[in-house]
Amino acid sequence: MRKFKLLKLLLSLLLIPLCMQAQTRKVTGKISDEKGEPVSFATVTVKGTQKAVVSDVNGIFSIELTGNQKTLVISSAGFEDVTVDVSSTSEVNVTLKAGTALGEVVVTAFGVRQQKKSLGFAATEINNKQLMESKQPNLVNAIQGRVAGVQINSTGGGPGQGANIVIRGPKSALGNNQPLFVIDGVIVDNSTVTEGGNANLRGMSNRIADINPDDIESMSILRGGAATALYGFRGSNGVIVITTKSAKAGKMRVSYNATYGVEEVNKFPDVQTTYTQGYRSNNQIYYSSTDFFPSWGPTVAAAKALDPTHPDKIYHHYARAYQQGNQFRNTLNVSGGNEKALVNTSFSYFTHNGVLPNTNYSNWNARVNAVLKLSDKLQFNPSFNYINSGGLRYNADRFNESLSYWSPRWDVKDYKTADGAHKTYGNNNPIFGAYYNTFKDNVDRMLSNLALTYSPANWLDISYRLGLDFTSDNRRATAPGQIARPGVVNFGDNPLGFVGEYRILNKVLNSNLLVTGKFNFGEKLTLNARAGHDVVDINYNFQQTQGSELDIIGLTTLNNARVITQNSRRTQLRTMGIFADATLGYDNFLYLTLTGRNDYASSVASGNSSFFYPSVSLAYVFSQHFKMPDWISYGKLRGSFARIGIAPVEPYLTNTYYNSAFGQPVNGVNGWTRDDVKGSENLKPEFTDNREVGLEMQFLNNRVGFDVSFYQINSKDVINRVLVPTSTGFTSYVLNSGEIENKGIELAVNGTPIRNNNFTWEVNANFTANRNKVVRLAEGLNEIVIASQFGYLSSGATQKWVVGQPAGGLYGVAYTRYYGSQTDDRVTLRRDLPLLIASTGNLAGFPIRDATNQRLLGNSLPRFMYGVSNSFTYKQFNLSFLFDMRAGVQRFNQLGNFMSAFGIAKYTEDRNDFRVFNGVIAGGAANTQRVWLGMEVGPDGRDYDDGFYRNIHRGVTENFVEDAGWVRLRNLSLSYTLPAKVLAKTKYIKGASFTVTGNNLWLSTPFTGFDPENSSNPSGSNADGFAGFSYPGVRSYFVGINVNF
Amino acid sequence: MQYNFIMLKSQIMKKNFKLYKSIAAILLMLIGFTGCKKYLDINNDPNRPTEPTINGILAATTQNTGLNVFRAANVSNYYVQYFASPNANSPTDIYDRVDFSTTWRLLYDNMADIYDLEQLAIKTGSTAHLGMAKVMMAINLSLTTNMWGNVPFSEALSGKNLSPKYDNAQELHTRCLTLLDEGIVELRKNPTITVTANADFLHAGNRTYWIRTAFSMKARLLNQLSKTPGYSATNVLAAVDSAYTAAAQEAKVSVFTLRNPWATLARNNAALVLDAWLSTNIIQSMNGVRYGYVDPRISRFTDTTRYGDYRGTRNGAGRVGTGTSRDECYLTTNGYYSADAAPLFVITLEEVKFIEAEAALRANNASRAYTAYIAGITAHMNKLGISSGNRDTYLALPAIGVGQGNLTLPIIFREKYIVMFLSPEAWVDARRFNYSYTGFQLPLSALLAQPIRRLDYPSTEQSLNSGNVQQVAALTDRLWWDL
């Protein structure tokens, strides 16, 4: 009950307004901005009291003063506060200056606009212009490179493909580490649902991709624990608070946006062009136009001599298999209203055809939101958003794998016969797969949100929000049966044809009550206090019916399947929280904020379902406290500690269950089989301890400034589904499995080197360094495997947690090093030591695979991230560009492994060369043995069997855990706004602008595969160390037009 | 300030009584909610039970015991050369280290269910279910240890240990025998809980047959010791005495979720997903090429090629034709073992007869040996529906009807190779016989100079149970009984 005492105290504080009544007089005035435009909804407060009014649409206000009250404080979002002495006047005209650091306002928890100076934590706001600059259809991708501490990876360039966002490193293992998305005060679903038909490999959308970026006014990225503590455990990975566009009082406004873009794969792997199809047999290399091996045959010239149908050059089959993509977005926004009622509506249509054949995505979006002032004290904000999205998604992992088996001697684009049968020389044609092994999702989503704000007194607001986020996702996977006639080679992925129908219903209900009170104690002391209650109820319903073995081969319906199995699942998760916070301000320079929250979650063991956690933060605006030199315009120190308790967002982990053994009754009996996951009866919540200090400074009248943060985050009792050997009778155990730590530095620098009437140059740069490590693991655990991926000769890579090592550690087989008298710890990769070269045996003269040890070969979590954006405005032109850099990050390139194993990689062109490998032989003497790299018997008469690449190179993970750092020109945008005087003639058009944009125009990376930003795993997955067979990244070009009526 | 506070409170009491009331209501609601523990007590999965029905888990385990025999055979068929891959240099064909993680997992999945069946049977006091659980555990565990040798068992299955240690294979063999003995004891008791006949896919609840299966398994396991000093022909024959006497008693799964799994391979193959191609070795053992006579059973194993004869595929060599032109033989749904409704055998009468023949011969009881040998072939012929005329013609061949004085172990192994078609136990026989079948060839491009003797541990064990898993130096390393 200790927790409730604080709450009660806060609530009783709410009941203590401070005001006095005496004789009154009236003051009226008009508020305008620097351009003379009226500022509506500015708050006019009588200094030292709670008495306040709001200016109307024309910026006019009227307020009653009593006794000796003589000072008004006028504040409005985005402007600096102004203090006006009205002791000798009853009418004032006030001009507000556009926001500077002191006046800057940030949307924080529960959509509350707070002065940035009072925050004891790091927060960054992104506006609509910045979001729209990149033309990224997925909102998450639109923030790439713009915010320190935020790592965003599009998982690939596929239409509608999910994007991954992690703030200040991963903190949890079971959870997805994605921040919480809150739109207009209501939590919305950003899950990536990967159920049904191998959807985990199909680049499914994260649900935020449903949102039209153009509907968004601003996004606040709250990074630190103290910022997000009020949201409860869902906020443990940071919170992104989205404010949508709303109408402005006055005339009706109509705005139309259209963007058209084309795109192409931005990076292909380098392929060899010398050797063609075939392999080795009977001591020689042979050519065969039907051989499984795509590129281990003789030279093109030699093959052409044997086979006149052989093309003059072999294809670059990777480049050949992809095509040009395009996208088109239309948004129409209509808004208007008066002081009593404001309505904003928008409609948009987006369609996208991907670079991988037969992949696409479309999105219809209709949205209406309103502000209705029911009375002076009661405001009602309903909003409703309907979205239809989805498209054809192909399994890019399978596509690229099949493409690697495909011989470049054959044109992969020639994929089917006239009657629609699979056309191939032998191996699966991946393009046939893209057309005849399809998967389509069709999402209907309704986001509705009602907010009621009751302000019985000017110091008190009571608001209630009810949000319902309902998603219906219909997925369908189909493959026709095979056309079985002589000469047709089957397409291996479509056995006898199949149909899968998947129905996913997800309902997120969110109820949220907030009571806010503002108090002044005398002239200097202020108190903002809030108390609240929220409930989240998530209902998830999954149903699948799968049919296989089609009767009529081309009829892909369940009615045509010989075998039908079904599965259904309903899950429910409830959480509830009560919370309170209080910010005590002293004389506008010192702010102390305390928060406390108690969460109740259904997903942990019943004895552990209630948990409390506090936070404290302090902001000290020293530039307000002391007189600073003129060149310092702003300075603030901040520090915070926050603890956040985290319950798993997945229910039913506290028991071990039994599943239906057969998927249907057999022999009239339901079989039962033990589930692969062992539940934890004592599952506890995780706790994340966040420590943060920061310094914000602005100089030279806000022309230059910086914001630096140092943080350390310790995540304890991290819940994990720990993979275990199947001999345990399970594949994984749910465990409170250990502790990981993230610490780092974030630095944001802003500058305006030039600002005059015609020309402005603005620079924003951000830098992040993050280090993480596994601090400890639960008893009985030596390591926790997060994910692994196959590589030939056991050269797969495993991402796992090992104590003392980074959480993104990638492990695998390395080359054996010569240690001499040094000891080998069997984990560290000693690149400084010479390679040990075999001096005996049939691999003498070659480096040695160290197959007995799994060494740390890389880290999937970047050590450094940088973003630099520049914006030049000259009269009506604006040119912006954003460089995005990442360093100290590695990824396993499975594609590279296959390109070695199948002789596709450019470097395998040296296969008929001799080489003396750099290194030493046992004993330490330098290696001098000359070896041939090719297969079979070399010119030296020695039998080299399968050759260097297949015997050794492909079996060494070290060769394929590659530097995935990059420097890229993320975005370049040129826009032109028509001058007002030109438009004045048209009468109707109020504004118009044209934009030309390029994304990913330039990329520099040592990574040899596709764009290393991509991932083999879906968004929301912690397995981010694998970037081989991914949907390739794209370079895109857009033209856009925006017209306002 | 003190004064202000008091004054304010009274103001509110008067002026904003409504407000005060609403705040109180909110406060009450907050506290009220917290008392509502039921609201949060929803973490029991409504879709699944935490405890299965005993017959439901019996259904899963009996079905999967049959399927595990299929899964193990689908590996060993290539080693004993019943099957050959239609693709050249198939890793299994050429003795590469193939990762059989899935086979391993399915064996352990089923053993985990059997473990739960055992626990549930103990908890509910059901002797019949307990007996069946023990017999099935012996079947699955022996399949596992005969492929991999030392494997986890004593610390496995219960979920209590994150990384189960590996038990010695010889001890596991003994453990299997003990499980069978214990199972027999339980099965002989009067059942306390009814076994739903439909839930017992192996014997439809017939405990007498279960006991015969247990003795047949005992005979098989004891016979596996033929190379070891612990071998006792007497013990084998004692087990045989209580083993199968009629085909009706055999442990076999006849009802499937869909169809016999070999039939699925046959259907896939017919639809161009090439699979279940027969090896030159089994074909030449039966089509007259190797021995000069045709075994009539070949027509029940497979169909003729487009040339009207039987042709196998050399292991490692891959197919000769396109795969669609019936150049070589494979399983089809016309075959006895690969028809849609064909039963899937765990252990058969003919195997028991051949075990008897071998043990009797080793015990110098030539008469019993010869009788059992003929009975074994006869049982198999009858099962496949070979006409008595064809059967007797075969039995009368000089190479077959050798007479009791001339029966030798090579003859027994040669003929047992035919009756064991598609059984994983054939690989145990091949290793006991050192692959000394007439004409047995190493696969083309074999990676080993000798035939394979064991499997490498699966990657899941190597990565997740690295502290316990053992290194396999070579796949020619022999298991403990394979001296």
Q: Which residue has the higher pLDDT, A2 or A400?
A: A400
- Judging contacts by C-beta atoms under 8 Å, the chain A residues touching residue B64 are 661, 673
Chain B CA closest to residue A512: B30
Kindly determine whether residue B258 and residue A563, on different chains, have CB atoms separated by under 8 Å. yes
Q: Smallest Cβ distance to A655: which of B44, B56, B87?
A: B44
Look at strands A1034-1044 and B251-253 and give their pairing.
unpaired
Number of Cβ pairs < 8 A linking chain A and chain B: 249
Q: Smallest Cβ distance to A655: which of B1, B50, B111?
A: B50
pLDDT, position A388? 97
Name every residue whose Cβ is closer than 8 Å to that of residue A880 and which is 6 or more positions away in sequence: A133, A869, A870, A871, A872, A971, A972, A973
Q: Which residue has the higher pLDDT, A990 or B149?
A: B149
Q: Is the pLDDT of residue A792 over 60?
A: yes
Q: Smallest Cβ distance to B40: which of A485, A600, A729?
A: A600
Chain A CA closest to residue B470: A852
Kindly determine whether residue B12 and residue A17, on different chains, have CB atoms separated by under 8 Å. yes
pLDDT tens-digit series, residues A139-186: 888 888 888 889 988 889 999 998 889 999 888 777 678 899 988 888
List A981's β-bridge partners, or say none: none
Whether residue A38 contacts residue A99, with contact meaning beta carbons closer than 8 Å, is answered with: no
CA-based nearest distance A133→chain B, Å: 45
**CA–CA gap between residue A561 and residue A940 (Å, rounded):** 60
Q: What's phi and psi for A479, nearest 5 deg?
A: -150, 135
Stretch 727-766 of chain A: residues touching chain B, C-beta under 8 Å: 727-731, 733
CA-based nearest distance A474→chain B, Å: 21
**A93: how many CB neighbours lie within 10 A of its CB?**
10
pLDDT range class, residue A235, cuts 50, 70, 90: confident
pLDDT, position B22? 52
Q: Is the pLDDT of residue A574 over 60?
A: yes
Whether residue A911 contacts residue A933, with contact meaning beta carbons closer than 8 Å, is answered with: yes
User: Testing the interface with A: which of B19, B45, B166 to mutate, by most A Cβ within 10 A?
Assistant: B45
The chain-wide mean pLDDT, for chain A, equals 90
Q: What are the per-10-residue average pLDDT scores of chain B (483 residues)? A: 37 47 52 62 90 96 98 98 90 91 97 98 97 98 98 96 95 98 97 94 97 98 97 98 98 94 91 87 96 96 95 92 80 95 97 98 97 98 97 96 96 98 98 97 92 94 88 94 95
CA-based nearest distance B109→chain A, Å: 6
Beta-strand ranges (E) seen in A647-685 are: 658-660, 672-674, 677-678
Name every residue whose Cβ is closer than 8 Å to that of residue A630 and which is 6 or more positions away in sequence: none
Task: Quote the DSSP letter at residue A51.
Answer: -
Kindly determine whether residue B8 and residue A18, on different chains, have CB atoms separated by under 8 Å. yes
Q: Is the pLDDT of residue A791 over 50?
A: yes
pLDDT, position B114? 98
- Judging contacts by C-beta atoms under 8 Å, the chain B residues touching residue A579 are none
**Could you please report the per-residue DSSP string of A171-225?**
--SSS--PPEEEETTEEE-------STTGGGTTPPPGGGGS-GGGEEEEEEE-SH
CA-based nearest distance A445→chain B, Å: 25
Nearest alpha carbon to residue A244 among A208, A210, A219: A219
- Judging contacts by C-beta atoms under 8 Å, the chain A residues touching residue B159 are 656, 678, 728-730, 733
pLDDT, position A488? 83
pLDDT, position A90? 81
pLDDT tens-digit series, residues A200-223: 889 899 999 999 988 898 888 988
pLDDT, position A78? 65
Q: Smallest Cβ distance to A574: which of B39, B104, B161?
A: B39
Helices (H), A348-426: 396-405
Chain A CA closest to residue B460: A725
Kindly determine whether residue A15 and residue B39, on different chains, have CB atoms separated by under 8 Å. no
pLDDT range class, residue A229, cuts 50, 70, 90: confident
CA-based nearest distance B130→chain A, Å: 17
Stretch 647-706 of chain A: residues touching chain B, C-beta under 8 Å: 651-652, 654-659, 661-664, 666-676, 678
Q: What is the pTM of this model?
A: 0.85
Nearest alpha carbon to residue B15 among A316, A231, A21, A755: A21
**Could you please report the per-residue DSSP string of A711-769?**
EEEEEES-EEEEE--GGGTSSEEEEE-EEEEEEEEEEEEEEEEEE-SSEEEEEEEEEEE
CB distance from A462 to chain B under 8 Å?
A: yes
User: Testing the interface with B: which of A15, A539, A727, A785 to mutate, by most B Cβ within 10 A?
Assistant: A727
Name every residue whose Cβ is closer than 8 Å to that of residue A620 and which is 6 or more positions away in sequence: A589, A590, A591, A636, A637, A638
Whether residue B237 contacts residue B303, with contact meaning beta carbons closer than 8 Å, is answered with: no
Kindly determine whether residue A727 and residue B270, on different chains, have CB atoms separated by under 8 Å. no
Whether residue A614 contacts residue A230, with contact meaning beta carbons closer than 8 Å, is answered with: no
Kindly determine whether residue A666 and residue B112, on different chains, have CB atoms separated by under 8 Å. no
Whether residue B70 contacts residue B298, with contact meaning beta carbons closer than 8 Å, is answered with: no
User: Testing the interface with B: which of A3, A459, A728, A795 to mutate, by most B Cβ within 10 A?
Assistant: A728
CA-based nearest distance B314→chain A, Å: 16
Name every residue whose Cβ is closer than 8 Å to that of residue B455 and which is 6 or more positions away in sequence: B75, B98, B100, B147, B148, B472, B475
- Judging contacts by C-beta atoms under 8 Å, the chain A residues touching residue B5 are 16
Whether residue A1034 contacts residue A970, with contact meaning beta carbons closer than 8 Å, is answered with: no
CA distances from A134 to A5, A141, A214, A424 (A): 49, 8, 11, 41
State both tokens at B68: 């595990």
**CA–CA gap between residue A708 and residue A696 (Å, rounded):** 6
Q: Smallest Cβ distance to B272: which of A489, A722, A852?
A: A489
pLDDT tens-digit series, residues A695-735: 999 998 889 999 999 999 999 999 988 999 999 999 999 99
pLDDT, position A16? 40
Chain B CA closest to residue A796: B459
The mean-pLDDT minimum among A91-100, A231-240, B25-34 falls in B25-34
CB distance from A602 to chain B under 8 Å?
A: yes
Whether residue B286 contacts residue B295, with contact meaning beta carbons closer than 8 Å, is answered with: yes
Q: Smallest Cβ distance to A785: which of B57, B199, B464?
A: B464
Residue environment code for B195-222, b if the CB has 16+ CB neighbours within 10 A, otherwise e: bbebbbbbbbbbbebbbbbbbbbbbbbb
Q: Is the pLDDT of residue A929 over 60?
A: yes
CB distance from A525 to chain B under 8 Å?
A: no
Q: Smallest Cβ distance to A657: which of B49, B463, B467?
A: B49
pLDDT tens-digit series, residues A276-327: 999 887 788 999 998 888 999 999 999 999 999 999 999 999 999 999 999 9
User: Testing the interface with A: which of B18, B29, B40 to mutate, by most A Cβ within 10 A?
Assistant: B40
Name every residue whose Cβ is closer than 8 Å to that of residue A782 and which is 6 or more positions away in sequence: A802, B466, B467
> What is the ipTM for the molecules in this complex?
0.90
CA distances from A221 to A180, A974, B381 (A): 10, 26, 77
- Judging contacts by C-beta atoms under 8 Å, the chain B residues touching residue A659 are 48
- Judging contacts by C-beta atoms under 8 Å, the chain A residues touching residue B274 are 490
pLDDT, position A139? 87
Kindly determine whether residue B26 and residue A664, on different chains, have CB atoms separated by under 8 Å. no
Whether residue A724 contacts residue A730, with contact meaning beta carbons closer than 8 Å, is answered with: yes
Q: What percent of chain A has pLDDT over 70?
A: 96
pLDDT range class, residue A102, cuts 50, 70, 90: low
pLDDT range class, residue A3, cuts 50, 70, 90: very low
- Helix (H) and strand (E) counts in chain B: 18, 4
**CA–CA gap between residue B422 and residue B342 (Å, rounded):** 13
**CA–CA gap between residue A75 and residue A96 (Å, rounded):** 8
CA-based nearest distance A601→chain B, Å: 7
Q: Is the pLDDT of residue A11 over 50?
A: no
Chain-centroid distance, C-alpha B397: 34
The average pLDDT across A944-969 equals 95
Kindly determine whether residue B60 and residue A671, on different chains, have CB atoms separated by under 8 Å. yes
Q: Is the pLDDT of residue A813 over 80?
A: yes
Kindly determine whether residue A729 and residue B88, on different chains, have CB atoms separated by under 8 Å. no
